[in-house]
Chain A
Amino acid sequence: MAAANEPPERHGPDGPGGPARPAGPPPADARDVRDGGPGDAVPGARDREADDGVRIGKDVRIGKDGRAGEDGRDGAEQRPAVLSVRGLTKRFPGVLALDGVDFTARAGEVHALVGENGAGKSTLIKVLTGVYRPDEGELSYRGEPASFATPLAAQQAGISTIYQEVNLIPLMSVARNLLLGREPRRRGGLIDFGRMHRESERMLLDYGVRVDVRRPLAELGVGAQQMVALARAVSAAGRTDVVVMDEPTSSLEPREVETLFGVIGRLRADGVAVVYVSHRLDELYAVCDAVTVLRDGRLVHTGPLAGLDRLRLVSLMLGREMGEVRAEGLTKFTGDHGTGEEPVLRAEGLTRRHELHDVSLEVRPGEVVGLGGLLGSGRTETAKAIAGALPLGAGRVTVAGAPVRTGSTPAAIRAGISLLPEDRKSEGIVPGLSVRENIALAALPRMSRYGLVSEARIDAVVETFVSRLRIKAASPHQKVGELSGGNQQKVLLARWLAMQPKVLLLDEPTRGIDVGAKAEVQKLVDELAEDGLGVLLISSDVEELIEGSDRVVVLRDGAVVGELTGDDVTEDRLMEAIAAAAEPGTAPAPAPGAAGAKAAGHG
């Protein structure tokens, strides 16, 4: 029991007295911008909320407060760099995933790594942990040039990684997972289970987890599983200098998050460099000392987190300057289409454990409704839930007043809902089939008679859409897998338009496609809305979202936190809504939920 209390107590002593926020109030410049917005009713309230966010990580903060003096910019420089990269470049076929990125993790520092889809976070982490080899750039570890051939090599060198999905063996017991490959053995080489269980119990108590270590790992909650992974990773290497956490809280309950933060605090106190990837601003401010922002594979910002306020951080992540004045017409969207008609799509109270919390929204015919929010805020889940691709705990979906059975894709499609999925390559196209077959796929029954495909009808439809959407393929018989991203996306659009849908859900319709195709897709969305289609648009590209949408529903942690209408549909308002901290009491429990981030994490 004494051991159980140990971790929190380490930072316990300097507890209550310490200042809640070492860096003091956010800088004035950021506050100015915030106050300037018309929708910002109570600026003061937000500061209180920020305090609250800090209190979450009480122990953690406190641990850090011990070195509050070092917390400023100068202090950060003094801490020794443990792992750093210079000019890191990584290419994949057709994609420049990282472009000359610098990154430094320092001992005793929790370093947040943030960025939207396709920013290059995952790639950077994978280079740091030995999954990928860099094309250019240097990696140095403990002051010496280093390169890791495999994740295992990195792990053995003292770089441990905690993935958002626990990477252990679910069917094996907790103890076996903890000590796989390092089982205590008796003379004769047989495993000494008594010692193994005692050792693993002791190890886990250090992480605030008390379980029967003989039970299969799968029976534990995700949070406890993650602690096991952490305990394993940290103890596996002789000495751990770096711990990389990739969205560790995405499926944790609040109290599990807290235990995790306690452990992070302890790691920091022990002089470990922690690299922390998360999309939850509250968490970043609660545990991180420094932040590095990536966007489109480039380094955008790096420095102490304390001096950076939320709004500024969000604008860095999204790549939009606050109050930036832009010429009209950078995107191909034109005008508003909002009409006064009855909603064609109405979703009410969509709820799914860990992912969605009572999400409701409406789309009217001819209207483009944007879904705003950071990666992992539940955008993709909302779209998938409406399209019947995710079973729901609760919620209702109606199309033109008629209820649609949830959790059934065919039912949603019959009702006139079409989803252009985010993960085009694995959930959208059927790579081995031709352009023609892909376009006709969903509408096949309509283009067949007695189960026989009518080639003439397909040809007509394919011809129409190939020319209307300007799909560039060698021939309609070319395999879709061989086309460019933009053309693949157009093929998918054609597939759904052939169904003559009433509602079109577009999840990142222009991600990963070239500029020309992007403009064409945007223009097309506009035209479709003008023709009376209801469109729900999800995009990490703020400009696209703002200019394309008539209205924006903002999600945060799987719940609707605001809606922008009319003149409020601006980038500034959007970023404020995203950056706003949850109001205690009114907002639902922060949704640990980001399966979407999982799907999206390969950008």
Chain B
Amino acid sequence: MADLTLRRALPADRERVLRWLQEYGVYLGVALLLLVNIAFTPHFLSAENFRTQAVQVAPVVIVALGMALAIGSEGVDLSVGSVMALSTSLVALYMGYGPWIALIVAVVGGAAVGLVNGSLIAFIGVQPIVATLALMVGARGLALVLLPQLEDIRDPGMATLGSGEFAGVPYVVLIAAALALVVAFVVRRTTFGRQLLAIGDSRPAAKLAGLPVRRVLIVVYVVCGVLAAVAGFLATARLSASDPTSLGNLMELSAITAVVVGGTPLTGGRVRIGGTVAGAVLIQLLTATLIKHDLEPSWTQIAQAVVIILAVYAARERGKR
């Protein structure tokens, strides 16, 4: 159907179609994939399957929330995957003091990386992609320095967090959902959220309106780092192991994909939390669907690449105001 509309569309209408797709395409995609799976995939409609999918997507969602803020401020944070690795190393090192202390240390570590990112961007004026690239290299190295090999985490609390559930919903998923609500609330209802959107939309206007541009940018990257650290903590709990070599690899890619597929333009000024969550879910479902139908994982990567390009293309048309 959508295909027909596209083909028949006059050039003037194409813009409108793309706009609609950017806005709601991600939900449409999720709905379509659900329908296709319900119709053609055996055992798709089981609580167990949904639980598996949700648990897998949860860390991506958490990281993508921070990424959405960074992209909304007309930036990007490539260091999130490395922050997850740093977080898991710190958790392993401080687990002896109990999970809470470990969590706090991990979060402080993530915040510190974010602070460096934010300072480079806000005070020195380094392009976000460059600043966070440096930290992406550095933070993973630091993680490996702190914890050179995989280490098992045997802590009952962590085990509960990783595999326990409440009313049939895994804790990890509940936490991700709660964080999504919090971030959505922050974006919509706080001074910080409004200022962030204004800065991402028009930096000169925000400056002339006297907004604390530097402070907001720094907070954005700190939040981004904290969320990545939390995701790293949860992933550690779920795996019952700390593996800084592989944890968070390509996470920046998944997070950016979720945000972009969710309809957030790379040009800043918009933060779509619902879209971002749906974007993460869409990619997860796409992967699951292809795998369930015996298509090799390689194809999911190729499909994902195509989806990213399409999403950026749709957002591009709208970017020109």
Binds A, one of B47-55, B192-200, B301-309: B192-200
Chain B residue nearest to A495 in the complex (CB): B209
**C-alpha spacing A441/B211, complex, angstroms:** 8
Query: A283 to chain B: closest CB distance in Å?
Result: 30
Interface contact B204-A441, CB-CB below 8 Å: no
Asked whether, in the complex, the Cβ of B189 is within 8 Å of the Cβ of A452, the reply is yes
Known: A432-B270, A444-B195, A453-B193; 5 extra A-B contacts, CB below 8 A, are A409-B208, A430-B205, A442-B209, A451-B190, A451-B192
Query: Are B202 and A389 interface neighbours, CB within 8 A?
Result: no
Do the beta carbons of A441 and B201 come within 8 Å of each other?
A: no
Q: Are B270 and A444 in contact (CB under 8 A)?
A: no
Residues of A with C-beta under 8 A to B197:
430, 432-433, 437
Q: Which residue of B195, B202, B211, B269 contacts A426 across the interface (Cβ within 8 Å)?
A: B202
Q: Does A387 contact B (CB under 8 A)?
A: yes
- B95 part of interface (Cβ distance < 8 Å): no
| 12 intermolecular pairs with C-beta atoms under 8 Å apart | A413-B209, A429-B202, A429-B205, A430-B269, A432-B202, A432-B269, A437-B194, A441-B195, A444-B194, A448-B190, A453-B189, A495-B209
- State the CA gap A414–B201 with chains docked (Å): 23
Q: Is A391 an interface residue (CB 8 A)?
A: no
Name the residue of chain A whose CB is nearest to the CB of B193: A453
> Contact residue range for chain A?
20 to 34
A426 touches B204 (CB 8 A): yes
Contacts of A508-557 to chain B: CB distance below 8 A: none
Bound together, the chains give a CA A428 to CA B202 distance in angstroms of 9
Decide if A421 is an interface residue (CB 8 Å cutoff).
yes
Please name all residues of chain A whose beta carbon is closer than 8 Å to the beta carbon of B270 when the two chains form the complex.
Answer: 432
Interface string of B190-224 (1 = CB under 8 A from A): 11111101100110111111111000000000000
Contact A428 to B191, CB < 8 A, known contacts A410-B212, A433-B198, A441-B198 = no
- Could you say which residues of chain B place their CB within 8 Å of the CB of A430? 197-198, 201-202, 205-206, 209, 269
By the criterion CB–CB under 8 Å, are A413 and B205 in contact? Answer: no
CA distance A538 to B97 in the complex (A): 65
| A453 B204 Cβ-Cβ under 8 A | no
A446-505: which have CB < 8 Å to B?
448, 451-453, 455, 481, 495
Q: Chain A contacts of B211 at CB under 8 A?
A: 441-442
Beta-carbon nearest neighbor of A411 in chain B:
B210
> Is B205 in contact with A451, judged by CB distance below 8 angstroms?
no
Complex contact B208–A444 (CB within 8 A): no
What residue in chain B is nearest A428 (Cβ atoms)? B205
A-contacting residues, B242-271, CB 8 Å: 269-270
Question: Is A231 an interface position by the 8 A CB rule?
Answer: no
Interface residues of A in 19-73 (CB under 8 A from B): none
- Using known A-B contacts A430-B198, A444-B194, determine if residue A481 contacts B209 with beta carbons closer than 8 Å: no
Most buried by A among B191, B197, B205, B270: B205
Complex formed: what's the CA distance from A452 to B192 in Å? 8
CA distance A132 to B211 in the complex (A): 37
Contact B202 A431 (CB under 8 A): yes
Is A170 on the interface with B (CB-CB < 8 A)? no
> B7 within 8 Å of A by Cβ?
no
Provide the bound-state CA to CA distance between A410 and B211, in Å: 7
B208 & A426 in contact (Cβ 8 Å cutoff): no
Query: Residue A419 at the B interface, CB < 8 A?
Result: yes
* A429–B269 alpha-carbon span in the complex (Å): 13
Q: Contact: A451 with B191, CB < 8 Å?
A: yes
Complex CA–CA separation, A481 to B190 (angstroms): 22
Q: Is B43 an interface residue (CB 8 A)?
A: no
Residues of B within 8 Å of A410, CB to CB, are 210, 212
Q: Specify which of B190, B193, B195, B321 is in contact with A431 (CB 8 Å cutoff).
A: B321
Return chain A residues, CB-CB under 8 Å to B210.
409-410, 412-414, 442
Looking at B193, B197, B202, B206, the one whose CB has the most chain A CB atoms below 10 A away is B202
Please tell me if the beta carbons of A448 and B204 are within 8 angstroms of each other in the complex. Answer: no
Cβ contacts under 8 Å, B205 to chain A: 426-430
Nearest-Cβ distance from residue B236 to partner chain A, whole angstroms? 31
A403 contacts the other chain (Cβ, under 8 Å)?
no
Q: Are A453 and B198 in contact (CB under 8 A)?
A: no
A419 to B194, CA, bound (A): 21
Given A410-B210, A441-B211, A452-B190 contact (CB < 8 Å):
yes
The residue that B208 contacts in the complex, of A427, A431, A432, A451, with Cβ under 8 A, is A427
CA–CA, A430 and B193, complex, Å: 14
**Cβ contact within 8 Å between B321 and A453:** no
Q: How far does the Cβ of B101 sit from chain A's closest Cβ, in whole Å?
A: 28
CB-CB nearest in chain A for B198: A430
